[in-house]
Amino acid sequence: MSTCRQVLPAWGEVRLSDVTHAGVSEWVAELTASHLSPASVRYAHRVFALVLEHAVRDRRILANPAAGVRLPRTTTPPPVFLSHQQVHELADAAGGYRTLILTLAYTGLRWGEAAALRTNRVDLQGQRLTVDQATAEVRGRVIFGSPKSHQQRSVPFPRFLVPLLREQSTGKLASDLLFQGPHGGVLRNTNFRRRVFDRAAASAGLVGVTPHVLRHTAASLAVASGASVKAVQRMLGHASAAMTLDVYAGLFADDLDAVGASLDDAAAAVLRPEFCGLDADQTDLRASPAVDPGDHKGPLSCDDTWGRLRDSNPRPTHYECVALAS
């Protein structure tokens, strides 16, 4: 249902001066009662409110009667993430669009950004995609514009995609679209889902998965590989790291455990034995061996330190002398 069908029947013949806050509130309540989704109700209200705001600026009315109207709450379902295995099974089931599926899942491009990506925006040597355009469908027409963030960004892609993207570029001019429809035109989300994606998802046992899930998946796989919040923000083109955390906060929860473990390991080499769970009478400075720092890879743990303390070689290291003498 388009927004025009929601707004025009109710307000198309109403004079601006006759639009009241109570009237708008009643209209919103009727839309909600008609079982329209909360998101659709809120969007219809926003469109009407923007029209009224223009009337305020033109001084046709003194105040916006749509301001402050109580709107239905929206519930955002938690994002769905695919595993590496599921991504590749989905891509294999997509036939000739395998490279597109893998590109979406490992770069996090929005659908419109992938559809607008041109061959000369692919840097195979640097493993980067330059995102500076996006498509949108307006009343059945495809329009090219700037990305959602209105900023150009450079997106990394993994090495295994290099030969696939090279093959995808073969035979195309620099200005040609990298991913095209079956007849060489612009890829449209609706057509692609009906003809390719939904069938591939069903074949891979992923019924209900949408192309946007691949964007969530890219964030999940990036975080699992060690990417920071800032890196994920830049990759996805979010306006701020706060926006990234709003959507993917759960992905970074495990980082807190990792931080605690890393700090514990790093501090273990200089903590006194009692902080490592050892009694003071278990230590003996004379029982600590000399250690070449180059022989030890990674942070020292309590077990490492105590193991050296129990060694029969009587030469303590400088670091252990400082730690145990404190």
Q: Is 252 helix (H, G, I), strand (E, B) or coil?
A: helix
Domain count, the chain: 3
**Phi-psi map region of 299: left, alpha, beta (phi>0 left; psi -120 to 50 alpha):** beta
Task: Kindly provide the b/e burial profile for residues 26-57, where b requires at least 16 CB atoms within 10 angstroms of the residue's own CB.
Answer: ebbeebbeeebeeebbbebbeebeeebeebee
Amino acid letter for position 262: S
Give yes or no: residues 40 and 129 share one domain. no
CATH of the domain at 198: 1.10.443.10
CA dihedral 122, 123, 127, 129 (to 10 degrees): -40
What was the pLDDT predicted at 316? 47
Task: Read off the pLDDT band of 229 (50, 70, 90).
Answer: very high
pLDDT one-digit tens code per residue, 64-84:
999 999 999 988 788 899 999
Give yes or no: residues 166 and 207 share one domain. yes
pLDDT one-digit tens code per residue, 95-135:
999 999 999 999 999 999 999 999 999 999 999 999 999 99
Q: Taking residues 140-148, what's their average pLDDT?
A: 90
pLDDT one-digit tens code per residue, 13-44:
999 999 999 999 999 999 999 989 998 999 99
Tokens, residue 267? 């501090």
Q: Is the pLDDT of residue 301 over 60?
A: no
pLDDT greater at residue 169 or residue 306 = 169
Give yes or no: residues 284 and 222 share one domain. no
| Residue 206 domain flag | yes
Give yes or no: residues 96 and 144 share one domain. yes
Give yes or no: residues 283 and 233 share one domain. no
Give yes or no: residues 118 and 198 share one domain. yes
| Residue 258 domain flag | no
Give me the domain span that covers residue 29. 3-57
